[in-house]
């Protein structure tokens, strides 16, 4: 049996939606806006991706057997 991650299934789904929205918004904003404020969307997408990867790593860890 595998251990559960620190995100629930619903939180994990919202994290994926947030990642996809931020990843899609960054290049669109780069085309539309003249300044570099679109970089914030890139940073947010990277942070959310890091959380998803950390949750994946915790889910793949085997549960300790006694």
**Residues 11-66: tens digit of each pLDDT:** 999 999 999 999 999 999 889 988 888 899 899 999 999 999 999 999 988 877 77
Task: State the DSSP string of 9-36.
Answer: HHHHHHHHHHHHHHHHHHHHHHHH-SSS
Query: H or E segment at 43?
Result: helix 39-60
pLDDT for 16: 95
What per-residue confidence (pLDDT) applies to 56? 93
User: Where are the chain's structural domains?
Assistant: 9-60
Write down the pLDDT at residue 2: 54
Per-residue burial over 47-57, b if 16 or more Cβ lie within 10 Å, else e, is: ebbebbeebee
- Residue 8's pLDDT is 92
């Amino acid at each position: 049996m595998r251990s559960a991650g620190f995100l629930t299934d619903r939180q994990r789904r919202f994290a994926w939606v947030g990642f996809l929205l931020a990843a899609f918004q960054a290049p669109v904003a780069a085309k539309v806006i003249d300044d570099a404020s679109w970089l914030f969307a890139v940073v947010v997408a990277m942070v959310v991706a890091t959380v998803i990867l950390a949750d994946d790593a915790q889910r793949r860890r085997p549960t300790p057997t006694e």
